Amino acid sequence: IQTTHVRGNEHNVKFLSEELWNDQLTPQAFYEDYSRALFGPDAAKLMIQAFEILEENEKFLGGRGGANMPWNQMPPEILALRPVPGEKRSIYWAPTSDYEARKQKFRSSIGYLKKAAPLFEQARGQSTKAGQLELRYLVHRNQGYIHHLETLAQIADVYAAWREALGKRRDGAQPTRERLAKAVALARQAEEEAAQSAHHFADCAEHPTDLGVLWMISTKVVVGTRVIRQHLSNLLAFSEGKEYWNKVDWDLLFGTTPFPAYELKPAKGKDDKNPEIFEPG
């Protein structure tokens, strides 16, 4: 899908180019030849199994992976925060969308990735030198996605706790504080998970296009989970009668601009007979 992400897609491009000359080529046959050529005959069997598991994971997640890492944008779990900075009564706002189904899907996907992980590790000791370099990349990228998907799954739990805390305020001040404290603790866990994801993607950044994935993780998910934790901490402080205006990095997440909003205003002509001429201003 990420045709602009060169590194990591070598096997995709190679399959497409070979299939142009051999219309009978199947993914299974391709992975067998590719694994033997790159990783050597001893590691090939393990790598074929690993690639087949990743192939099944791709099918399971769907064409674009449930938008878990949309290029140049942010996952729905982070985008859900967009209304908060402009909400006048943000202390009573909570995400309305339920991400439980996405959480379950991502956790199932993590199962596939964790199943492939030991095969990569076993193949390392039997691989060619070139294959070992590629395996280092694959191991870190696989771990990066595991932590990334787990981050999104944990955000779903944060939102559920957040909704429960604000939705049951009539239960009393102390239960509300306890529920908000739970949401803050979950948000901190998600923030730590996002940092682990960024760490692994940084370790496998070998090509300029790898920086695109690292940028998305860092600026959208790492910052996004931090913003969730900061905002929820303010809500908790408000419920406890403490200072609740600590800085939240909304500007880092959604951006700001010093320029006024673009608009079109009619500019009248000299004789005022043509007032519908629009100029930017």
pTM over 0.85? The answer is yes
Predicted pLDDT of residue 274: 54
Q: Which two tokens stand for residue 208?
A: 């300029």
Interval 40-91: pLDDT, tens: 999 999 999 999 999 999 999 987 888 998 877 899 999 999 999 988 888 9
Dump pLDDT digits (tens) for 210-262.
Answer: 888 899 999 999 999 999 999 999 999 999 999 999 999 999 999 876 666 55
pLDDT band at 169 (very low <50, low <70, confident <90, very high): confident
Per the CB < 8 A criterion, the answer to whether 222 and 253 are in contact is no
pLDDT band (50, 70, 90) for residue 200 = very high
Residue 123 and residue 1: Cα distance in Å, rounded?
27
Could you tell me the end-to-end alpha-carbon distance of the chain, in angstroms, rounded to an integer? 39
DSSP letter for 273, please: S
CA-closest candidate to residue 85, choices 273, 252, 258, 240? 252
Instruction: Kindly write down the DSSP assignment for every residue of 19-51, as one continuous string.
Output: HHH-TT--HHHHHHHHHHHHH-HHHHHHHHHHH
- Average pLDDT for the chain: 89
pLDDT at 273 over 80: no
Cα–Cα distances (Å) from 93 to 50, 133, 146, in that order, read 44, 48, 30
Is 156:103 a contact under the CB 8 Å cutoff?
A: yes
Q: Provide CB contacts within 8 A for 55, sequence distance 6+.
A: 27, 31
